[in-house]
Amino acid sequence: MTRAHTRTLTADPLGGTVSRTVLPGGLRVVTESIPAMRSATVGVWVGTGSRDEAPELSGASHFLEHLLFKGTGRRSAMDISAQIEAVGGETNAYTAKEYTCYFARVLDEDVPLAVDVLADVLTDSRLSPEDVETERGVILEEIAMQRDDPGDEIHDLFAAALFGSHPLARDIAGTPETVAELERDEIHRFYRERYVASNMVVVAAGNVSHAETVSMVDKGFASSVTDPAGVPAALRDSNAVVPPSGSSVTVVGRDSEQAHLVLGCHGLARRDERRFAFEVLGAILGGGMSSRLFQRIREEAGLAYSVFSYSAEFAETGLFGVYAGCAPENAHRVLELAREVLAEVARDGVDAEELVRGKGMIKGGLVLGLEDTGSRMSRLGRGELLFGDQLSVDEVLRRIDSVTLDQVADLAAEVLTRPRVLTVSGPFADTDFTGT
């Protein structure tokens, strides 16, 4: 009989003891035990997101996220929410391009309930035809609401333009057309194929015992998440080719009071060792009120209320974008200033004061963000699911501290000169940004 494999990963001075067990069926359990806390967050991470769907199934991961809370063989939808809320806890879920996360935050004494509810939801959802139809309407309303918010929609438009025919280009929620056509049997098959042991990680952070958590997970998930013969599922198309970079302009005409712009390019893949330097570069460019973009566009020129840069890393590529929201008459000048800042940093790099400030922003954000169990759970879940390991907080801080001016300058010269994609939403014609 195959036995579970357990090891302690870190005993972090800035956190707790992180331990990892792989159960016989391939399910991974990671905990961070912090006895000083009186709460805990339990999360189940599934390595399936919008990029893993066939084009005709676009939106299936997000649809499934909704449906799993609608009832199981043991609990109704009301039972699922009421049992957690009765102990002052909360439960929720979200879907991303490469994973889906389900979680519950409770008092430490209620961890057994949280694990039991999540295990029930993840392994025994009914997916009744009636619930499928009810949630279909809810999701279509959600898509419509998102499209009515150009500040949200512009980022989806940017990703679609940047990634082209690659699965990363697809909207997480799908389209009204694909959601309207998804059938219950298709969603159920997707559920059974994807929600398997080797593709899932259970994480608990807070005042938890690793051994007790493993025992609860083993019991709760044993019924239906063991892969046949324990063979890891090959679930992602590793042959998906990222389209070559190319410059493009996408304009969505809207009768709106504000223009929304995203200017960006391909970034770094998730496992690129330069990712810490790239984070520092992003903070310097558009990470706060002292950033170059904020100072130039808002503080000096007064042309926008909101301006920032952001990045995202995926398995084989990434993205970098600069967002600004401004009055339509200021859009071209804002775009011009953003390009000036990117060109300056690409050509000249950054100075020592900016480097220190950028490092401080990243380090402070990391440590301050770990003051609740939910953030700790998320860090562990992403580390295990996306990287297959855990870096201690100390190690991450060390890597950020080790970033040099030359590393940032080299990255800026490489990334910020790549062909750029521009997406614009506002009261414009298609030709208003031609040649910009």
- In angstroms, the Cα distances linking 380 to 183, 235, 312, 373, 390 are 34, 22, 18, 11, 7
Percentage of the chain beyond pLDDT 70 is 91
Residue 99 lies in a domain: yes
Q: Is the pLDDT of residue 15 over 70?
A: no
Q: Residue 389's pLDDT is what?
A: 81
> At which of 230, 257, 284 does a domain end?
230
The CATH number given to whatever domain includes residue 329 is 3.30.830.10
Mean of pLDDT values over 21-30: 92
- Tens of pLDDT, residue by residue over 96-146, are 999 999 999 999 999 999 999 999 999 999 999 999 999 999 999 999 998
**Any domain includes 92:** yes
Residue identified by tokens 């649809």 is 63
Asked if 44 and 57 touch (Cβ cutoff 8 Å), the reply is: no
- Regarding whether 379 and 307 lie in a shared domain, the answer is yes
pLDDT above 80 (res 154): yes
Q: Crossing angle of helices 210-221/111-123, nearest 10°?
A: 30
**What's the CA gap between 217 and 276, in Å, rounded?**
34
Mean pLDDT in residue range 157-184: 95
The average confidence (pLDDT) of the chain is 91
Task: Give pLDDT tens digits for 244-273.
Answer: 667 899 999 999 999 999 999 999 999 999
Among candidate residues 53, 65, 135, 354, the one labeled active-site is: 65
Q: Examine the domain organization and report whether 209 and 265 are in the same domain.
A: no
- Are 28 and 112 contained in the same domain? yes
Assess contact for 405 and 71: CB atoms under 8 A. Answer: no
On whether residue 285 sits in a domain, the answer given is yes
Same domain, 219 and 256: no
More confident residue, 225 or 435: 435
Residues 19 and 156 in one domain: yes
- Per the domain annotation, does 210 fall within a domain? yes
Q: Specify the pTM.
A: 0.91
pLDDT score of 392? 87
Residue ending a domain, choose from 164, 199, 230? 230
Residue 345 in any domain: the answer is yes
- 223 pLDDT more than 80: no
Average pLDDT over residues 346-354: 97
Question: Tokens 């963000």 — which residue?
Answer: 369
10 strand-pairing partners: 18
Q: Is residue 243 one of the residues assigned to a domain?
A: no
| Number of domains observed in the structure of the chain | 2
What average pLDDT does this structure show over 372-401? Answer: 92
Instruction: Give the end of a domain, one of 176, 195, 230.
Output: 230
- Burial state string for 183-217 with b = 16 or more CB within 10 A and e = fewer than 16: ebebbbebbeebbbbbbbbbbbbbbbbbeebbebb
Task: Say whether both 36 and 126 belong to one domain.
Answer: yes
- 257 and 225 belong to one structural domain: no
**Could you give phi then psi for residue 365, rounded to 5 degrees?**
-60, -40
Q: Give residue 229's pLDDT.
A: 43
- Which residue type sits at 63? F
Q: What's the average model confidence in pLDDT over 410-425?
A: 97
CB 363 within 8 A of CB 279: no
Does 264 lie in the same domain as 197? no
Please give the pLDDT value at position 10: 64
Distance CA 97, CA 170 (A): 8
Tens of pLDDT, residue by residue over 49-97, are 999 999 999 999 999 999 999 999 999 999 999 999 999 999 999 999 9
Domain that holds residue 155: 5-230
pLDDT for position 406: 97
Residue 373 belongs to some domain of the structure: yes
Confidence band for 434, pLDDT divided at 50, 70 and 90: confident
- pLDDT reading at 186 higher than 80: yes
Q: What tokens appear for 93 in the block?
A: 């879920």
Q: Which residue has the higher pLDDT, 330 or 8?
A: 330
Q: Which H or E run contains 11?
A: strand 5-11
Q: Give the pLDDT confidence of 30-44 residue by residue, as tens digits.
A: 999 999 899 999 999
pLDDT score of 424 = 97
Same domain, 197 and 299: no
65 is catalytic: yes
Residue 241 domain flag: no
Give mean pLDDT, residues 164-191.
Answer: 95
Each residue's pLDDT tens digit, 331-343 = 999 999 999 999 9
Going by pLDDT thresholds of 50, 70 and 90, the confidence category of residue 14 is low
Quick one: 148 and 277 in the same domain?
A: no
257 and 285 fall within a common domain: yes
The reply to whether 184 and 312 lie within a common domain is no
